[in-house]
Structures are given as structure tokens and as C-alpha cells.
């Protein structure tokens, strides 16, 4: 009788213990994993590795977004070309393994799921390093009043990643590619308005005015880099005026900002974006960033972002009737021809046609005489 009672007591506590044990990996794994997860802890101690993940968004269609996103390196002596592959990839869960398709290596990265609950995800990499993520349930939104964005990149040292992208809320894009990519030169693109809206909405999770003007991988990242690879300039425009310009080394920015601008780098490859090579009219040129004044004040120098924004407006400028005062003289970026302007209306040297850029671009610049 005593043994029977003892067996019942042991069985009772065993059942009680199992019932109170926190849920880990069970049949609810799919419902638990959907949504956004932000890195809370990493056992990485020194260098960034291929398995470093700062943020994951799992979707119900077996797709996920991984940040930092994927990119490839192509070495052609003496330079290494950087090609961005994007963040959107496939994932699958098999037993206790999370498999994420690596777009760069074209194989599946495997992570052992150590714990998965409604608010915590812990995975182990192939190098036995632990990554702990917390579920992101709600984010604060901010009103930034952004009309257009210009993204410039330039490679550092022997890395080559030079391109410029203009994107506005209507979905109009201008892209200048000078790197190792499937498109080359200047491309005019139209992006599906819904996709453009979704990209601009990502910036709402950042208070743009409070962001720093400079982010450096050696001082702003908690993971050391072997060497800087590229410089990025991100500029925001409202009512034709630049409102914020940020210099970034190697994507060393707050994760919500990274997640916002990262899609811009590869969106021109999307089926939702239609590009064609830009044909410059015979009587039109793109401008250089030095503007000579007629009042002997010297030269006004535009930032690269202001210049690319202005050149987009010039390429879409409309012809008008009339004449202009030649207050400013601007040399072409790829031509010896000069452009004359009063600060809004322009005429190309050798042509009598007048074009309206659409805004007073001299008044809208951060005027810097030298």
C-alpha cells in the first residue's frame, strides 16, 4: 500500500512539473515564429561572422527578411565589387532546425532552435554561438514629412560599390550604376506606388531629425569590422529642400533605419520596378556640382545628394517660352557645355530653348560659397 501511494505521489508531481514547464518547441512553432524578432543578446565577442543576424521578420508564406541583408563580393584585380542581393529569402523549419536560404552562398544556413516561446527565440549557429531574439510587438511611429530620398554609395579602399538612387513618393526613380551589376549607367524607373508607399512607411519608425549626421562602424557598432568597405550618404528631401543628410560607414546605424533604407538598394531589380536607360535630350545635359555666380561671390557647391536630386528634376524639366537672366553658370558633368540659369529656369549653351526645373534650386540648397 505504501509503495502504491508513493507511486501516485511521484506521478502527480511529474505531471505537475511537466504541466508547469515553459513551452518551447511544439506544434505551435509556426504560430510563435511569425512576426518580427530583434537581437537581444549575441555570444559573438570579436568579429562579425556570416551568421550574425540583428533582425528577422518571419512571414506566413515561408519567406523572411534577414538584416543585415545578403551581398556578394566579386574580385577583379585590383578591386572587389559589392553586389547587394536583398534581405528577402526562404526559410523552413525541420524538427528543431531553422533553415534560412543564403542568397550569397546559394545554400541553406542551419540554426538549432534552443528555445521558442511567444516572446523569445534562441538559436545556435553552426559555430556553436548563441543568438537570443525578443519579439517586437509594437513600434512607435513618427511624422517625418519626406517627399524624396537620395541614396549614394562609394566604395572604400579596393572595394567598389558606386551608385546613386533617387526615389520619391510617386514611385519615380533615377538610378546611376557604376559597379558590378546587371544594369549599368543611368536608368529611369517607375516603382509600383504601393511598394513605394511601403518603403516610405518604414522610415516612420525613425525620428529622422534626431538621427546623427555621421555613423562610423568603428564607433557606432558593437561588432568590430576588419576594415571599412563603403561609405553611404542618405539624404531626405521635403518640398525640394534637403532636410537631413546622414553619412554612414558600413551600415553602422540603428536597426530600424537600416531596415528602412536597405530595400532601396535592390528595389530596381524587383518585378514591381520597370527601368529603362535614360536618353539625354540633345539640348539637355546633367550638371556638375559647381555653380559659378555672376556677382563675383565665387562658386556655390552642391552636395552630391543635392546635385543628383537637381539632375533628376532637370531630366524631367518642361520647355517653356520666354527668356532668363544669366545669374548662374554651371558646367555639365559629362560635357563641356555650360548651363545658364536664374536659379530655376535653365538654358543650355548653344540652344535657345528654356526649361523649367520646377523649383528655385539655388534657394533650396545649403548655400556654400568658396
Structural domains of the chain, with CATH:
25-136 (2.40.128.280), 148-277 (3.30.1560), 287-364 (no CATH)
pLDDT of 364:
80
pLDDT of 8:
46
Q: What predicted TM-score, i.e. pTM, was given to this entire model?
A: 0.78
> Grid coordinates representing 179?
559597379
Long-range contacts of the stretch 167-173 (C-beta < 8 A, 24+): 167/191, 167/196, 167/199, 167/264, 167/267, 168/196, 169/196, 169/197, 169/200, 170/196, 171/195, 171/196, 172/312, 172/316, 173/267, 173/268, 173/273, 173/275
CB 187 within 8 A of CB 263: no
Q: What is the overall mean pLDDT for the chain? A: 81
CB 213 within 8 A of CB 245: yes
Q: Which band of pLDDT confidence, cut at 50, 70 and 90, is reported for residue 224?
A: very low
CB 89 within 8 A of CB 167: no
Using one digit for the tens of pLDDT, what is the confidence trace for 233-260?
Answer: 999 999 999 999 999 988 889 999 999 9
pLDDT of 366:
64
As a whole number of angstroms, the distance between CA 240 and CA 363 comes to 10
DSSP assignment string, 138-183:
----------EEEEEEEE-TTEE--EEEEEETTSEEEEEE-SSSSS
Using one digit for the tens of pLDDT, what is the confidence trace for 74-129?
Answer: 776 666 666 778 888 999 999 899 999 999 899 999 999 999 999 999 999 988 89
Q: Which band of pLDDT confidence, cut at 50, 70 and 90, is reported for residue 165?
A: very high
Q: How many residues does the chain have?
A: 370
Q: Which band of pLDDT confidence, cut at 50, 70 and 90, is reported for residue 143?
A: very high
Q: Is 90 exceeded by the pLDDT of residue 154? A: no
According to DSSP, residue 216 is labeled -
Amino acid at each position: 500500500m505504501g509503495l502504491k501511494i508513493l507511486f501516485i505521489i511521484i506521478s502527480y508531481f511529474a505531471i505537475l512539473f511537466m504541466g508547469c514547464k515553459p513551452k518551447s518547441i511544439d506544434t505551435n512553432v509556426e504560430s510563435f515564429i511569425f512576426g518580427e524578432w530583434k537581437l537581444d543578446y549575441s555570444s559573438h565577442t570579436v568579429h562579425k561572422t556570416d551568421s550574425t543576424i540583428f533582425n528577422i521578420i518571419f512571414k506566413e508564406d515561408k519567406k523572411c527578411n534577414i538584416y543585415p541583408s545578403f551581398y556578394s563580393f566579386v574580385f577583379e584585380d585590383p578591386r572587389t565589387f559589392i553586389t547587394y542581393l536583398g534581405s528577402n529569402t526562404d526559410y523552413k523549419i525541420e524538427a528543431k532546425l531553422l533553415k534560412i536560404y543564403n542568397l550569397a552562398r546559394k545554400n541553406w544556413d542551419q540554426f538549432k532552435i534552443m528555445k521558442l516561446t511567444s516572446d523569445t527565440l534562441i538559436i545556435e549557429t553552426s559555430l556553436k554561438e548563441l543568438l537570443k531574439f525578443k519579439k517586437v510587438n509594437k513600434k512607435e511611429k513618427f511624422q517625418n514629412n519626406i517627399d524624396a530620398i537620395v541614396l549614394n554609395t562609394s566604395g572604400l579602399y579596393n572595394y567598389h560599390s558606386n551608385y546613386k538612387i533617387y526615389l520619391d513618393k510617386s514611385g519615380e526613380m533615377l538610378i546611376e550604376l557604376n559597379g558590378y551589376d546587371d544594369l549599368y549607367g543611368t536608368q529611369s524607373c517607375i516603382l509600383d506606388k504601393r511598394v513605394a508607399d511601403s518603403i516610405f512607411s518604414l522610415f516612420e519608425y525613425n525620428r529622422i531629425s534626431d538621427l546623427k549626421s555621421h555613423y562610423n562602424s568603428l564607433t557606432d557598432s558593437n561588432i568590430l569590422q576588419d576594415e571599412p568597405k563603403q561609405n553611404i550618404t542618405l539624404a531626405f528631401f521635403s518640398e525640394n529642400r534637403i532636410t537631413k543628410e546622414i553619412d554612414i560607414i558600413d551600415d553602422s546605424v540603428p536597426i530600424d533605419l537600416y531596415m528602412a533604407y536597405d530595400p532601396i538598394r535592390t528595389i530596381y531589380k524587383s518585378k514591381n520596378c520597370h527601368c529603362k536607360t535614360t536618353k539625354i535630350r540633345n539640348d539637355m545635359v546633367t550638371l556638375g556640382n559647381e555653380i559659378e555666380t555672376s556677382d563675383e561671390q565665387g562658386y556655390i557647391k552642391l552636395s552630391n545628394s543635392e546635385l543628383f536630386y537637381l539632375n533628376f528634376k532637370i531630366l524631367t524639366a518642361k520647355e517653356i517660352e520666354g527668356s532668363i537672366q544669366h545669374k548662374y553658370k554651371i558646367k555639365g558633368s559629362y560635357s563641356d557645355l555650360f548651363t545658364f540659369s536664374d536659379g530655376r529656369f535653365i538654358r543650355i549653351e548653344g540652344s535657345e530653348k528654356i526649361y523649367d526645373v520646377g523649383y528655385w534650386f539655388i534657394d533650396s540648397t545649403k548655400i556654400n560659397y568658396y
